[in-house]
């Protein structure tokens, strides 16, 4: 899918940013990537809340082959083909995919003071240790006695 086609496809959803990615494009809104357009098709971000909707349509999660195995990426599911002809419903699915991507981003963020403390501790552990310069030896001077 080319860039112009994707822009037209998401017209009812609203403005999207489309960037070259892998063998296709990454599609984002409000700084959050929620869809992938690859040679194999268009994939939307999904989570436990939206996966049942994809399954009901007979969609499958994104998969790719390595030299030794097939890798399944359960966080992106193929958009049902019928939605390419229904831009209003596609926009609803895109909003749900954006919401799933935003929920995933929230789960990845550190939570509160505990996480901030832990990340500060980790940063301190990774900081190089500075060696103090060696002290000069004091010369032996005679003590004055009173």
Q: What is the pLDDT of residues 56-104, one digit of tens each?
A: 999 999 998 899 999 999 999 999 999 999 999 999 999 999 999 999 9
Contact 20, 56 (CB under 8 A): no
Sign of CA dihedral 5, 1, 81, 12: negative
Contact 12, 88 (CB under 8 A): yes
| Tokens found for residue 59 | 């969609």
Q: What percent of the chain has pLDDT over 70?
A: 74
Considering only CA atoms, which of 47, 53, 19, 52 is closest in space to residue 33? 19
| Tokens found for residue 85 | 């002809």
């Amino acid at each position: 899918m080319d860039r112009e086609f994707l822009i037209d496809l998401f017209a009812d959803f609203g403005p999207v940013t489309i960037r070259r990615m892998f063998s296709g494009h990454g599609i984002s809104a409000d700084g959050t990537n929620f869809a992938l357009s690859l040679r194999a098709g268009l994939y939307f971000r999904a989570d436990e809340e939206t996966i049942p909707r994809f399954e009901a349509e007979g969609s499958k999660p994104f998969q790719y082959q390595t030299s030794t195995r097939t890798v399944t990426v359960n966080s992106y599911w193929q958009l049902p083909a019928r939605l390419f002809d229904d831009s209003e419903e596609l926009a609803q699915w895109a909003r749900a995919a954006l919401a799933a991507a935003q929920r995933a981003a929230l789960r990845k963020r550190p939570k509160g003071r505990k996480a901030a403390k832990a990340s500060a501790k980790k940063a301190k552990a990774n900081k190089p240790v500075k060696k103090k310069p060696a002290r000069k030896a004091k010369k032996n001077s005679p003590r004055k006695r009173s």
